[in-house]
Structure 1
Amino acid sequence: MEWSWTVDKAIPYPLRVIFRGVGQVFFCGNAVTGLIFLAALYVGGITAGLAATVGVISSTVAAYLLGLPDDEIDAGLYGFNGTLVGPCLFLFLEHSPQLWLYVVFASILSTIVLAALMRILQPYNIPASTSPFVLTCWMFMAAVFAFDSFSRGPVLPAASIPTEVANISMIPVEMWHVAVSKGVSEVMFADSVTVGVMFLVGIAITSLRGAAMALSGAIVGVITPVLLGADKTLIEMGLYAFNPVLTMMAIGWVFLKPSKRSIVLAFLAGMLTVVCQAGLANFLTPIGLPTLTFPFVLVMWMFLFAASKSKYWGSN
């Protein structure tokens, strides 16, 4: 929407960059959208909102201090991984005063990892996306065993042997809108229907197609695991949907030329992301780490690499 870009440019520069960084979590480099996302996080929980704020500021400031390209900083590209790092660590680790310092360190590292991966992937025209966030959080969650000031939280899965799912009954019809909405909100670790709706509104302000892809991804992330017989509780919590949300936005809106073919490819990618997430979850279970957004990253990379070889998408 044109008015949002007018407002975007009217926001003072430092705040504009910070809000754009938050918006880039959903590929939206719009400060108005980012402001809505950040407000939604505070609605979901003050701690999550503060952690995201600390994360996006730390990662963005680190980009300035490292002398990274101004145009990339201005677009918020060095802010979105830090935005995710903060709420992630506060969700999976026990809260303590030292955890805020941990978030700052992790957010700074996410910027360094992003800059390195952007350089590595640049010849292939493939985005690093949220891979710095994933790699950084895995490292920092594993590192808590070495520090007496930190400990794993109850949400972080304990290391174990994968077992067959038992809770596979069909989810009630009245829970479908909850599962879909939470599928969107869980992208930023928020377990809230309201937050999910606010995220969709924020995306729609930047792009109606982007919002349609996000909503479609959430729906795919509910229908596909239901058909495959996944855990009912995980589906209702939106935990199978947040990765397809990002995958379908990436393939169907951001990185390939919008067309009917790219929509079909996006739906295929979204469905396969569910399978990839299930596989990666079992792969990581013995070491007690969550998948985070790595299923999205892996599927997106494979589809974009494959698209570059295709007669249908290679020229886009």
Structure 2
Amino acid sequence: MQWAVKIDMALPRPIRVILRGVGQVFFCGNAVTGLVFLVALYIGGTTAGLAATVGVITSTITAFLLGFSEDDIDAGLYGFNGTLVGPCLFLFLENTPLLWVYVVFAAILSSVVLAAMIKILTPYKIPASTSPFVLTCWMFMVAIYSFEALSPSPVLPVPGIPEAIASANLPVAAWLSSFTDNTIELWYVALAKGIAEVMFADNVLVGILFLIGILITSVRGAVMAFCGTFVGVLVPIHLGASQNLIEMGLYAFNPVLTMMAVGWVFLKPSTGTAILAFLAGILTVICQAALANFLAPIGLPTLTFPFVLTMWMFLFAAGMSKHWSS
């Protein structure tokens, strides 16, 4: 929207760059959208908001001090991985004063990893996206087992062998045809949290604000995000996934990013790429389940790696197709 672009350009450069970094979590290089996202995070929890703020500022300053691309810094590309690092580590690790120092070092590393990934992937015209965030957080999560001063939170998965689920899920028919107050609420909560969980927020209002923020930047982007969270609820229901995970939006946040990337950002927007995005979103759900089981023995969460892996495969394949165009 033009008014958002005008406000974005009118802001002082440091503020504009920082807020764009927050916005780039959802591919939105606009400071107004970034501000909406940041406010939403603070609504979801002060600690998460502060952690994201520390992360985005640290990673952006690191990129500037190390002399990385000014254009990339201005676009907020060195901010969004740091934005994710902060709330992620505060979710999966025990909240202590030392953890703030840990987050700062992780945010610094995320910018270094991003620069390295850009160097590796640019010849193939493939974005690094959130891969630096994933690699950095995995490293910092595993490292704590060697440090007495840091410990995992109850949310960090306990290492173990994957087991088949055995839960009292609602049958598929109940989700799809029984329009009771209970099932309507289940859908509403699951869809909203699917968007909120991109930044680790277990909050319906945060998800709604995130969607509004995306809409400020792009209608198509918002449509892809909503379709992504819908796919991330509908597909696991049919496959018989854990109802608890579905309700929490934990199967939806990766398809949200995948469908935005394939259907809006990196391939030419068209009906064809929208259909392709749906396919990518469905496959992201399966990829997430597979990676969750693969990582279970070492006790690591998938984070956004299912999105990264699926997006990379589709974008690499796009270079081989006469039908896809970037």
Q: Which residue is 2:320 aligned to?
A: 309
Q: Is 2:41 aligned against 1:41?
A: yes
Residues 1:27 and 2:32 are matched in the alignment: no
2:196 corresponds in structure 1 to 185
Residues 164-186 of structure 1: per-residue CA shift (max 9 Å, x gap) = 11123245332101100000000
Matches within 5 A, 1:172-251: 172-251=183-262
Measured in 1, the distance between the counterparts of 2:188 and 2:222 equals 16
Tell me the secondary structure at the aligned position of residue 160 of structure 1. Answer: coil
Find the counterpart in structure 1 of residue 170 from structure 2.
169
List gaps (5 residues or longer) in structure 2.
176-182
Q: Which amino acid aligns with 1:194?
A: L
Q: Provide the rounded CA distance (Å) in 2 between the counterparts of 1:189 and 1:174.
A: 21
- Partners in 2 of 1:118 and 1:289 — Cα distance? 25
Match for residue 139 of structure 2?
139
Equivalence map 1:1-316=2 (5 Å): 1-167=1-167, 168-170=169-171, 172-313=183-324, 315-316=325-326
Provide the C-alpha distance between the structure 1 equivalents of 2:231 and 2:94, rounded to a whole number of angstroms.
33
Distance in 2 between the 1:147 and 1:106 partners? 15
Give aligned pairs, total: 315
TM-score (norm 2): 0.96
Q: SS of the residue aligned with 2:311?
A: helix
SS in 2 for 1:127: coil
Per-residue Cα deviation, 1:8-38 (whole angstroms, up to 9, x for no partner): 0111110100000000000000000000000
Amino acid at match of 1:174: E
Runs of 4 or more, structure 1, over 6 Å off, are none
> Take 2:310 and 2:199, find their aligned partners in 1: how far apart are those partners?
19
TM-score for both structures, normalised by structure 1: 0.99
Q: Distance in 1 between matches of 2:2 and 2:114?
A: 30
Partner Cα separation in structure 1 for residue 127 and residue 185 of structure 2: 38
CA distance in 1, matches of 2:210, 2:232: 17
Cα deviation, 1:103-149, whole Å, max 9, x if unaligned, reads 00000000000000000001000000000000000000000011111
* RMSD between aligned residues: 0.7
* SS across alignment from 2:308: helix
Query: d(CA) in 1 for partners of 2:67 and 2:323?
Result: 39
Q: What letter corresponds to residue 224 of structure 1 in structure 2?
A: V
Structure 1 unmatched runs, 5+: none
Amino acid at match of 1:299: T
CA offsets, 1:143-168, max 9 Å, x none? Answer: 00111110000000100110111123
Separation in structure 1 between the aligned mates of residue 57 and residue 185 of structure 2, nearest angstrom = 39
CA distance in 1, matches of 2:13, 2:118: 24
